[in-house]
Structures are given as C-alpha cells and as structure tokens.
A and B are shown apart, each in its own frame.
Chain A
Amino acid sequence: MDKFKHEIRLSGSGGQGLITAGIILAKAAVIDGVNVTQTQSYGPESRGGASRADVIISNDEFDFPEATKFNALLSLTQEACDKYSPNLRPGGTLIVDSTFVKNVSIMEGTIYEQPFTQIASEKLGTTLPTNILSLAFMVKITNIVSIAALKEAVIASVKPAYADLNRKAMKLGFDLADKNKAEV
C-alpha cells in the first residue's frame, strides 16, 4: 500500500464547531485504523476569535502534530481563508463557506465554494450542524477517511437527541459533494 500523509486544517471562528469537527475527523481515522493526531488553536474568548483544528492522518510514522502545508483546508470565515489559503499544497483542496467567504484566490489546487451555513439554516432550520455538513462535504470530496468511519464517529460524538439532526446534516454534505463532483 502506498504511503500517504494528509494534513488537514479546519478554520473559522470560535463557536462554529471546528474543534469538534476536528475531533470527529480524528476519531474516524482511528476507526479506519491509521495514525492520527489532532491539535487545535483558539483564543481566550469562549466564542468569537480565530479558531482552528488540525488533523494529520497517515499510514506512516510522523512526529510533528500541526498541519503546515494543507492537503485540504476548510475555511468558514473570510479571515481564516485569507490567512491559511496561501499554505495550501499544490493540488490541494480548498473548501469555503460562501455564506461568509466572498473573495478566494489561490495559485494552485481546487476550490469548492458552498454556502454551508445558509444551507443548514434553510434545510435544517438551524446553523448548528454547519460543521458536520461541511465536514461531510470535505470527506466525500477528498476521501481522507471512509464514509462509514465518519458516520460512526459523528454518531458516537453527539448527544443522542442530536443524532438525527447530524445524520441529516451529513447527508446534505454528501449529496452536495456528489453534485459538485459531477459538475467538475
């Protein structure tokens, strides 16, 4: 089997659930049986302020736990997109929430612009599971973990009362990705 190492950054502002999404992605990698680390960076505020989660997934040995050159970057705010998109690897995947991110430019790689927050609000009646919706989109586009592992990790991580809502958010993300893949 070929060796791989995916460096993933999920970025936005505090309260958007990015660290939760990072932990869920890392759990999915554990289910897939590969090596993983998850780190995070946030400010002293309990909401607002810049926030990010890094996940490194590999079937090989690695030591440094922060993502430096991203194979995949999710940005839910303009600020995060401006700050981190220059460190996308050539051939990497940039996924932005076009509800908030209006200007995107990268030298190399593929850009996906989707109004995740707006879709969650319209289709689910709440913006809360935007993190899961966009994570599901990212996983379906990039195959960094298996769909089955992601589903298992999401359900294991959310309170039972919110399991259905998150299942719906995942399905929206997967369907949106399928639609986009077809267009590309």
Chain B
Amino acid sequence: MAKKSKKNIVLMQGNEAIARGAIAAGVNFFAGYPITPSTEVAEILSIELPKNGGKFIQMEDEIASISAIIGGSLAGAKVMTATSGPGFSLMQEGIGYAKITETPCVVVNVMRGGPSTGLPTKPSQSDIMQTRWGSHGDSPAIVLYPNSVLESYELSIRAVNLAEKYRTCVILLSDEVLGHMREAIEIPEIDESKIIKRIKPNTPPEWYKHYPENPKYISPVASIGEGYRFHVTGLTHDSFGFPTNRADEAEIMNDRLKKKITHHLDDLIQVEDYMMDDAKIAVFAAGITSRAAKEAVRNSRAKRHKVGMFRPLTIWPFPEQMIRDKFKDVKAVIVPELAEGQLLGELKRVLRKTNIKFYPIQKTNGELITPDDISEAIKEVRK
C-alpha cells in the first residue's frame, strides 16, 4: 500500500479551523467584536477574507456585529460572526431577529466560564441552554458542537450550509480548550458540490413572496438589489413580509419557523455512537468533555466492561429519538459537563419513561473533566 502523502498535514488551532471552514463554505462577509477565547476566528478572517474577495469589518460591539451580518446576508452575502458568552448574551436580540426574518447567518460561540465576564481564558459548556432559549419567543434552533480541530473545520462548513438551506441563524459552539487546541489535521479537499448556495426565486418579480407557503418549509430567497420587492421586519408578518395581526397569518409564520426544523430532523441531526451497541453503562458527553469520555470508555472496554459513549454533534434539535433507541438496554448513564446540569436536564426529559439511573459529573471551576474523573464514576456505577 502506498504511504499516505503527508504534504497536506498541518498543525492547526480549533479557532483557525472554524475560520478556514467558513472560507471553504463561501463566507464572504464577517462582522465582529473580538473577545477571548474566540478572537482568533476574527483575527484570521480579517487577514484571509480580503484575500478571497470578501469583507471583514470590526464593529463597535456585539449588537452591531449581529446586526451587520444580518444586513449583509439580506444583501446576498454568506455571513458569520464569532463571540463568547458576554457577547453572545448581547447578540440574543439579533439572533431572534435573524430567525423571524429567516435570514441565513452563522454565530460562533466559543464558550468560556460565566456568568457575566466570568473566566475569559477557561473552558465552559454552560451556554447549551442559552443557544436554545436565549432569545425571547419560541425560536427553534440549529446548534452544532464539534470535539476536534478537524470537526471544527467540517462543522463550520456545515453550519454555513444549514443556515443557507434553512434560512435561519445557525449557532456553532466551541469552548476555550477546543478553540485554542492545536492538532495535526489533513485539510480535506473542498468539494464544491457540497457547498449549499441559496435557492434563487424564478418567479416574475411582481409575484415574489419573501415568505411563501411551501410544503417543505424551505423556500427560494431573493437578495436586496436583485429586483424583487419585499419587506423585512421583526414583527410577525405575512408572506410578503408586512406586519400582520391576523391569527391565521401569525399561525402560518410560527408554524413554518418550527416545522422547517422538525420536518428535517434526519438532515439536521448528527451523533457519534462509540461502543453503544451492547453497553449497559453509557457516557453522554459533548464537545471537549467527550474527549475525556471516549478515553475513559476505551480504557473501560480494555477491561471488558460494557460501557459506551453517545455524543451529540447536533445539540439542537436534540437527538431525542436516537437517544431513546440507543439507550434501550442502558441501565445507567454518566453525564459529564462543564455546566450545572444543562445536558443532564434535557437527557432526563428525553429518558423520563425509563428506569435509567443518572450520574452527573459537573465542573464549573474552569478545569476540564478528566478521563480519571469519568473512570471513577464508571467504577462507582459498577458497584
């Protein structure tokens, strides 16, 4: 067998991988306000975007940043911003606006310790619920969370694709350790056929509806300046985008926001199932914590213990059905997270009709949960 060529192998940081993924996905406008531990995403795009014909702008704050990318997207650009907890809180209003106006955009949140300005240089996973419920109103969410540098690259591309396809704000999570971690990766060749471009309307401009009724809930979208007339507002609106108070029209709009997610779960949900087939004890973990979980499970399997790991790459929509299927024979689940029970609460809700026992491991002091912490818990559960 020919030895694999190593020429494309580079040492890359998680945040750099997100920036490179954005460029590969065709992002051509980034507006942001730098904040640790996400700064490298902005820094790298400020250098690379202009080289690739794109635009980078540093805004005065995070509210302006999200507003700028929404405007850019309405004008036809593929857009991204990146931030961390304090900035993510400020962006909530804009995220809701992007969702109700169905404007494609990607917000990267590299999680750090909170609340407030918290622990700027330490990892956390305590924004899981904020990505789902941070903005007021029922606003269905698409949220992705990688666990390696290569996956940061891949999910960055996927986040942009899903935003364009589903006309919504997609959130890409990372955390301080993952964002700053360097790993050797082979950058995949860009497959242009896998880069999703917005579907353009083919109706005459006078017939164009910006928010048409569509059985698949995904509709063509015109950009400002292309000759189509439409109205954009954060108020509940009709199919042309004009504000409405009519119950039937409000229902159609909210239904579409919900169903464009719930009718495409197979397309949206990605999970990693590691040794779950005969597992009696499961470890449920996401992001950086899953790296410790996998190592603990691997060590446990070496001792022939029936332990597996289940990892959601898509945090929202939560992979409910897959969890119910995979956890049929599971007796106990260990839930390590750098938060005070955010994943645990959701998992308990999904598995409420089972007799599975829950063993949380929670750290919010800025340190990682280690493989030893999880191995100890496995030992405890096996008693």
Contacts and interface: CB of A to CB of B under 8 A. Distances in A.
Contact of A23 (B122, B182, B370): B182
B120 A44 contact: yes
Interface stretch (A63-71, A103-111, A123-131, A167-175): A63-71
Contacts of B372: 68
A30 interface: yes
A43 interface: yes
Interface string A52-93: 000000000111111010000000000000000000000000
A36 B183 contact: yes
A38 interface: yes
Contact of B182 (A38, A61, A63, A68): A38
Interface of B is mostly: mixed
B294 interface: yes
Given A30-B10, A33-B6, A36-B11, A65 B181 contact: yes
A53 B122 CA distance: 14
A118 interface: no
Interface residues of A, number: 23
Contact of B184 (A30, A39, A41, A62): A30
Nearest to B298: A63
A35 B183 CA distance: 8
Given A33-B6, A65-B181, A66-B368, A38 B11 contact: yes
A40 B40 CA distance: 15
A44 B368 CA distance: 18
A134 interface: no
Contacts of B121: 41-44
A27 B295 contact: no
Contact residues on B (Cβ < 8 Å of other chain), bracket: 20 to 34
A26 interface: yes
Nearest to A19: B180
B375 to A, nearest CB: 11
Given A23-B11, A40-B180, A42-B121, A68 B370 contact: yes
Contact of B177 (A26, A29, A63, A66): A66
Contact of A63 (B10, B180, B291): B291
A33 B3 CA distance: 12
Contacts of B368: 66
Contacts of B6: 33
Contacts of B184: 26, 29-30, 35-36
Interface string B167-183: 00000000001001111
Given A44-B120, A64-B370, A39 B177 contact: yes
A13 interface: no
B87 interface: no
Contacts of B294: 63
Interface string B33-67: 00010000000000000000000000000000000
A37 interface: yes
Contacts of A68: 370-372
Given A30-B10, A43-B121, A44-B36, A63 B292 contact: yes
A151 B250 CA distance: 66
Contacts of B122: 41
B9 interface: yes
Contacts of A42: 121
12 contacts: A26-B184, A36-B184, A37-B182, A38-B181, A38-B182, A39-B177, A43-B121, A63-B292, A63-B295, A64-B292, A65-B177, A66-B177
> What 7 pairs between A and B have smallest CB-CB spacing?
A63-B295, A38-B182, A63-B294, A64-B295, A63-B291, A30-B184, A44-B120
Given A37-B181, A62-B295, 6 more contacts: A30-B10, A38-B181, A63-B371, A66-B368, A66-B370, A68-B371
